[in-house]
Structure 1
């Protein structure tokens, strides 16, 4: 059975550094370059949805790119330059050239006073406008006078691109794992989930047997999930639910955001994995406002249960949507720890079954050759938790409750049931009553 290791952390770091400087937008050459870079490490397939096409109530946007953008001060010196920071220009800013007073310039430049040295990221997706961003300290240092502004952007027909990697299982019922690539930089808010998703699927493809089918979807947040829903109705019918990967790499406390179907299999598996990860965690309710792609995937007509395991949630760390969300903000320890929790959650789902006993009262395990003597049972000494799992399984398995329920009730890690389940099935003490849970 594969498990996350430090090698996975190193692989995630390498991909993070590769993707970080690319000039991403919802649609455009930067998004395409990002998917091409991911394809070098995982053979994703890319679907394209042309600009101007409809997806339910939405329209696929044009492609966006920045050729150059700068502001020259009264002395002719450049005080803002897109070449220095990709957040200096609003995503989807209209082109603009002109001369402004300092007050006029300040009205078009966004800052983040709480982080005065950082440049915020802003966008203007669905209204035509132009704008810039800069650090608060820079704007405070500017003197009165005329400022020459030049923004050379292109908004032209292109295609929204979704990268997918599919792993078939014994069942055609799919578990959907999503992540997003919709703006430059954003090591934690934008890319940590993407590099973790890639690594997660490298591990999944090593499994000799997969009960469910798994699909990784990499898209621009929001409009990507909408386009996916609109163009894959039959696939959606086979989708059980899944997880949205984001904010996986900062050093903050682990969090779990519930799916819309609170108590879903995905909620239970995630919370089980978190309970046994050895770290503190907090639980968040599902919400459509201030959400990510789960808001669209769980919307009317679909209601897919999509949970999210993360560190500090989006919008709750000061570096969010600023240039301070950089490569140094994301730690290898946090990435690997989050990967381990996601892996354990998926393995809990894979192992979850309903088992019915073929015996009455508790069976004589020694007579069947499956008593766990090697785990400390049978001589009056204190048994280890792995031996306890034998008793939990033979006592609580009743053909009604699933294995995850037994694990939750007894506070036992799911992985400890693998050995007694195999032993009891082998000697005919249990039979499986469900193929899909």
Structure 2
């Protein structure tokens, strides 16, 4: 393998193209070997739980993963269709030694992915992923007879995860009408069940998956249907999750988008008011809007920034014991309740804030004012030279000096492609676009391949 197989969120690619049944089986065997060598099991054999989203390819990939694990002596519980955070929760709640999620999250239907979770429901760190890659294809002593793993279904997975979500709320949500866009994905059953169980009136849309329609013109990457449904039904608020429901975006009663930064601001103030915002700190990525930082500074909340990717937010939260973090895209992590981003948990916590304060979503979101933000992807360039080209650095410095405290510039090389992302925030959209275009031109000129 010339490049690392694992990306920032597991192994992901075209199902039956890059991500074949053979690869899924080999990955699972290697993961089992790494797991077995760690030892310290409460049972005669290690236990793994496996969940998936609604993609049609999930069936054959699930079969391959289960075959790999069981052939390596690991017992397997099949959770069926369940969001990524649901698999993480049950990995912990059932005392499993390994969790496996088959999902490509917000990617189009033809893609799929494999994510491994360690004991306790945490995403694997880089060292463990490297260990799994290193063990792929090695010769091994296969267990036989009674030493092979057992495979069984776990039919109460949806019920138990919904109960966990409902238990995170303390005030009934009666009187709140909410539209939930399930993205034809893993939340189609548990999402409406959890929100209704907490007392809300729920109107579910895109909740009839057929294996082919996941994320298709719906969910957190396509908010137009949600905006229309909220207005049509006179709902108080709408939420949209993605295919594996680990992220969530919202719209207010008028259909205005409430992004991840605004959701984090709402939850940061709610947790601080309850004395649950550890160290009065929230963790975000470098892409978080400067308007968020300004609102938090005014409220006396410290903002810690990480590289882009929810795994980096999670790492900082775990390292420093912080309770809240997330991304502008809607990944929100509340470590008192979950080990990963959880779109349904996020929706419930925002709904509870609405119920407790009696405020509308628009009023709650107004705690911060978003600076106009423009992102330009410059393709066909040498991303490795972003930090070393003197002329590019000078151009960035000139633009930053012109913006002063009214905006900011961020140049971010892609981790996998010949792309440099130019992000600019400024007082007006036109000014942000003008600065971004100028810098994109310098990037093309200086870093062209």
* TM-score, length of structure 1 as denominator length: 0.29
Higher relative contact order (CA 8 A, sep 6+): 1
Specify the structure having the higher radius of gyration (Cα).
1
Determine which structure has the larger helix proportion and give its number.
2
TM-score by length of 2: 0.29
